[in-house]
Amino acid sequence: MENKIYGNEKLLSFFRNASGAGRLSHAYILEGGEGSGKKTLASFVARLINCKSLGERPCGVCESCRKISEGIDPDVKTVVAEKDKKQIGVDVMRDLRADVYISPNEEDCKVYIIPDAQNMNVQAQNVFLKTLEEPPANVYFLLLCSNIANMLPTVRSRAPSLKMQIFSESELRSHLLDIDPSLRSLDPSEFDMTVRLAGGRIGEALRLLGDSKKTSGETPRDKAESLVDLLIGKNDTASSLVFARKSVKGRDEGRDVLLYSIYALRDLVAAKKGGKGVTMLFYGDRQKAEALAENQTSARLVSVVSLFEEAYNGIQLNLNTDNLFTDLIVSVRKTAGI
């Protein structure tokens, strides 16, 4: 799956045309949520730039294409934060600035891929800007980011930005079944929910489906259910805090737990509003949602949903996961009187 690109035809033909006409810009920003295929596309562009074929490019079989696909080409470099740091600091960008002037080893061009460009702090972006202002002729930069608002306007003005395609649910479903036909044997309601949760992103869907293979009780979905039980069902702030600290491991899992919790909580709002026609997205057992919602007002449930949505946005911005859950749970307690 690593090299196959689903959809995104407009972006592919844009890059093919620009490259064929010798009009490639030295830098591009590829914007899209996690799991939307930015890295796969960046690898495609790096192959397009360095492919040795005289026919269709990238050919996928020449030495350059092969090495880039395997991630072992010395002239296609990935730029990340220093170890144990979340932000890409100024030192990383100074090193990069020095590195761009060193000639390529094997290829005609060097390509630098920055997978989490939104994590460059302001000083780092300013140093990078100097590199962008006078890039060596054979150097290209691909800045991948989940939210372009985090990039300085000065950087954006020198790097055209392109958005990754968001798939419809039916497109996503068919791409997923193409990648992994064994998904046909998955419980259809679970498959449907994953497709919805993935928000049109293939990588995100595959990650969520990978989670669902974990032992029961350990998946982010199970953890979300427990958290909502403690927080809303039992109204137990202390146990919720302990649960979040002990059970939610790291930012990625935190994000998934928040995402599933949002769906669970929206089900409670729907259950509260009643009407037999309302479909539950999270709770297979509608009565469970109704029981949880029973002693809550709609107003409170709606505020709790927004608090979770805020926390979900916060976790995307790399805020500390433990603090984020603590603040969230404390804020939820404050809504108890609504």
Residues near Zn ion, by CB under 5 A: 51, 53, 58-59, 62, 65
Three-state DSSP string of 197-247:
HCCCCHHHHHHHHHHCCCCCCCCHHHHHHHHHHHHHHCCCHHHHHHHHHHH
The residue whose two tokens read 């470099």 is 77
For residue 40, the minimal CB distance to Zn ion (Å) is 16
For residue 59, the minimal CB distance to Zn ion (Å) is 4
Token readout for 245 is 């600290």
Q: Partners of 254 in the beta sheet?
A: none
If DSSP codes are grouped into helix, strand and coil, which group holds residue 116?
coil
Neighbours of 264 (CB within 10 A): 25
CA distance 69 to 213: 28
CA distance 225 to 2: 32
For residue 183, the minimal CB distance to Zn ion (Å) is 32
Nearer to Zn ion by Cβ, of 31 and 107: the residue is 107
Nearer to Zn ion by Cβ, of 65 and 151: the residue is 65
Using an 8 Å Cβ cutoff, are 16 and 172 in contact?
A: no
For residue 4, the minimal CB distance to Zn ion (Å) is 16
- Sign of the four-CA dihedral 12, 163, 116, 245: negative
For residue 70, the minimal CB distance to Zn ion (Å) is 13
Nearer to Zn ion by Cβ, of 63 and 294: the residue is 63
| Chain centre distance of CA 338 | 34
CA distance 133 to 38: 24
For residue 82, the minimal CB distance to Zn ion (Å) is 33
Region of 335 (left: φ > 0; alpha: ψ -120 to 50; beta: rest) is alpha
Nearer to Zn ion by Cβ, of 51 and 280: the residue is 51
For residue 64, the minimal CB distance to Zn ion (Å) is 6
Nearer to Zn ion by Cβ, of 66 and 207: the residue is 66
Nearer to Zn ion by Cβ, of 53 and 123: the residue is 53
Nearer to Zn ion by Cβ, of 65 and 232: the residue is 65
For residue 30, the minimal CB distance to Zn ion (Å) is 21
CA distance 193 to 179: 18
Token readout for 305 is 């949903």
Neighbours of 92 (CB within 10 A): 21
Nearer to Zn ion by Cβ, of 100 and 109: the residue is 109
